[in-house]
Amino acid sequence: MPEPLTPGELLALDRQHVWHPYGPMPGKAAPLLVESASGVRLRLAEPVEGRDELVDGMSSWWSAVHGYNHPVLNDAAQSQLGRMSHVMFGGLTHEPAVRLAKRLVDITPEPLEHVFLADSGSVSVEVAVKMCLQYWRSLGKPRKQRLLTWRGGYHGDTWQPMSVCDPDGGMHELWQGALPRQVFADTPPAGFDAAPDEAYAAQLRELIARHADELAAVIVEPVVQGAGGMSFHSPGYLRVLREACDAHGVLLVFDEIATGFGRTGALFAAEHAGVAPDVMCLGKALTGGYLTLAATLCTAAVADGISRGALPVLAHGPTFMGNPLAAAVADASIELLLSQDWAQEVKRIEAGLRDGLAPARSIAGVRDVRVLGAIGVVQLDHEVDMAAATRAAVREGVWLRPFRDLIYTMPPYITGDGDVARICAALCAAAREG
Ligand SMILES: *Cc1c(COP(=O)(O)O)cnc(C)c1O
Catalytic choice (119, 255, 278, 419): 255
Question: Which pLDDT score, from 0 to 100, does residue 355 have?
Answer: 98
Mean pLDDT for the stretch of residues 144-155: 97
Question: Which pLDDT score, from 0 to 100, does residue 369 have?
Answer: 98
- Counting from 1 in the atom list of ligand 1, the atom nearest the Cα of 122 is 9
Question: Which pLDDT score, from 0 to 100, does residue 3 have?
Answer: 87
Residue-wise pLDDT tens digits, 24-54: 998 888 899 999 999 999 999 999 999 999 9
- Counting from 1 in the atom list of ligand 1, the atom nearest the Cα of 156 is 4
Give the separation between CA 15 and CA 6, rounded to whole angstroms: 14
Question: Which pLDDT score, from 0 to 100, does residue 230 have?
Answer: 97
Residue 142 phi, psi dihedral angles, 5° rounding = -70, -15
Residue-wise pLDDT tens digits, 238-292: 999 999 999 999 999 999 999 999 999 999 999 999 999 999 999 999 999 999 9
User: 337: pLDDT confidence band, cut at 50, 70 and 90?
Assistant: very high
- Counting from 1 in the atom list of ligand 1, the atom nearest the Cα of 283 is 7
Residue with CA closest to ligand 1 atom 6: 121
CA of 226 to the centre of ligand 1 (A): 9
Question: Which pLDDT score, from 0 to 100, does residue 174 have?
Answer: 84
Question: Which pLDDT score, from 0 to 100, does residue 64 have?
Answer: 98
Strands 41-48 and 34-38: antiparallel
Residue 403 contacts residue 378 (beta carbons within 8 Å):
no
CA of 263 to the centre of ligand 1 (A): 14
CA of 64 to the centre of ligand 1 (A): 14
| Residue 28 known to be catalytic | no
pLDDT at 173 over 80: no
User: 171: pLDDT confidence band, cut at 50, 70 and 90?
Assistant: low
pLDDT at 169 over 80: no
User: 170: pLDDT confidence band, cut at 50, 70 and 90?
Assistant: low
Strands 294-299 and 231-232: unpaired
Residue-wise pLDDT tens digits, 128-145: 999 999 999 999 999 999
Residue-wise pLDDT tens digits, 191-203: 999 999 999 999 9
Tell me the one-letter amino acid at 17.
H
Q: What is the 3-state secondary structure (H, E, C) of 316-369?
A: CCCCCCCCHHHHHHHHHHHHHHHCCCHHHHHHHHHHHHHHHHHHHHHCCCEEEE
Question: Which pLDDT score, from 0 to 100, does residue 428 have?
Answer: 98
pLDDT at 172 over 70: no
In terms of Cα–Cα distance, which of 306, 250, 289 is closest to 73?
A: 289
Which one-letter DSSP state was computed for residue 45? E
| Residue 168 known to be catalytic | no
CA angle, 137 as apex, 133 and 140 as ends, to 5°?
A: 145
In terms of Cα–Cα distance, which of 177, 227, 233 is closest to 204?
A: 233
| Residue 68 known to be catalytic | no
Question: Which pLDDT score, from 0 to 100, does residue 29 have?
Answer: 85
CA distances from 321 to 89, 253, 258, 293 (A): 6, 21, 21, 9
User: 168: pLDDT confidence band, cut at 50, 70 and 90?
Assistant: confident
Pocket of ligand 1 (CB under 6 A): 120-122, 125, 154-156, 221, 226-227, 255, 257-258, 283-284
Mean pLDDT for the stretch of residues 76-98: 98
| Residue 200 known to be catalytic | no
- Counting from 1 in the atom list of ligand 1, the atom nearest the Cα of 125 is 10
Catalytic choice (68, 154, 200, 237): 154
Cis bond upstream, residue 142 (ω within 30): no
pTM above the 0.85 mark?
yes
Give the separation between CA 63 and CA 412, rounded to whole angstroms: 8
Using a pLDDT cut of 70, give the percent of the chain over it: 99
CA of 261 to the centre of ligand 1 (A): 14
Mutate-to-test residue for ligand 1 from 59, 282, 284, 408, highest number of ligand atoms within 8 A of CB: 284
